[in-house]
Chains A and B, each alone.
Chain A
Amino acid sequence: DADVTQTPRNRITKTGKRIMLECSQTKGHDRMYWYRQDPGLGLRLIYYSFDVKDINKGEISDGYSVSRQAQAKFSLSLESAIPNQTALYFCATSEQTGSYNEQFFGPGTRLTVL
């Protein structure tokens, strides 16, 4: 079984709709991250959480919100989706160690906003 899972894997929605992307992990890691991937732009960090009570904005948090329901679960919401939020979204986890930061990624959610 995969250590980091994301649901749904694909989603098509319309402008203005509320969307939630979910991430679960069985690695027992405290740290969780949400990224979006766009061609030619690489991965950009949306939000990150170092434990259940610690949530931080990344470089592109506008238009997004997150919820850390438990150590194992980290959800990303788009309150009112817009077409330029069409992208591939990844969740990742990592252990709390010094400055070495190996991150483990889920398979991604492809979101299309029409």
Chain B
Amino acid sequence: GEDVEQSLFLSVREGDSSVINCTYTDSSSTYLYWYKQEPGAGLQLLTYIFSNMDMKQDQRLTVLLNKKDKHLSLRIADTQTGDSAIYFCAESITGFQKLVFGTGTRLLVSP
């Protein structure tokens, strides 16, 4: 079955690195995504990784994928107060044509 788990809350200081973790259960995932939800807004795609990759870097963002452990992480370098938001991981599974979202991690960045 499909199940995506995240820790609910993470608090960091401005300038530190943030690491948000996600575990999923379906080994047939093809793409895994990170979405960001700012207060009062809908979700926006932040980055994604194809399942045959181990790592993807995009400016301050680094995505790591461990397929053996079904573990996905998002590292935000030099975290800013504007990064405060809820972050969702999601997987798309071959043949299902829909996304399964995690529970979301609320990131709070303090000055």
Contacts and interface: CB of A to CB of B under 8 A. Distances in A.
A58 B97 CA distance: 12
Interface string A28-70: 0000010100001111110010100000001000000000000
Contacts of A58: 98
Given A90-B42, A90-B43, A102-B48, A48 B31 contact: no
A100 B98 contact: no
B97 A4 contact: no
Interface residues of B, number: 24
A103 interface: yes
- Interface of chain B: mostly helix, strand, loop or mixed: strand
Given A101-B98, A101-B99, A105-B44, A42 B31 contact: no
Given A42-B102, A48-B98, A99-B30, A108 B41 contact: yes
A102 B41 contact: no
B62 interface: no
B99 A107 contact: no
A42 B43 contact: no
A102 B45 CA distance: 7
Most buried by B among A43, A102, A108: A43
Given A100-B92, A105-B43, A42 B48 contact: no
Contact of A105 (B42, B93, B94, B98): B42
Interface range on chain A (Cβ under 8 Å from partner): 20 to 34
A107 B42 contact: yes
A22 B8 CA distance: 30
Interface of B: 4, 6, 8, 30-31, 33, 40-45, 48, 88, 92-94, 97-99, 101-104
Interface of A: 4, 33, 35, 40-45, 48, 50, 58, 90, 92, 99-103, 105-108
Given A99-B30, A100-B48, 20 more contacts: A40-B8, A42-B4, A42-B102, A43-B43, A43-B104, A48-B98, A90-B43, A99-B92, A99-B93, A99-B97, A100-B30, A100-B92, A101-B31, A101-B98, A102-B45, A102-B48, A105-B42, A106-B42, A108-B41, A108-B42
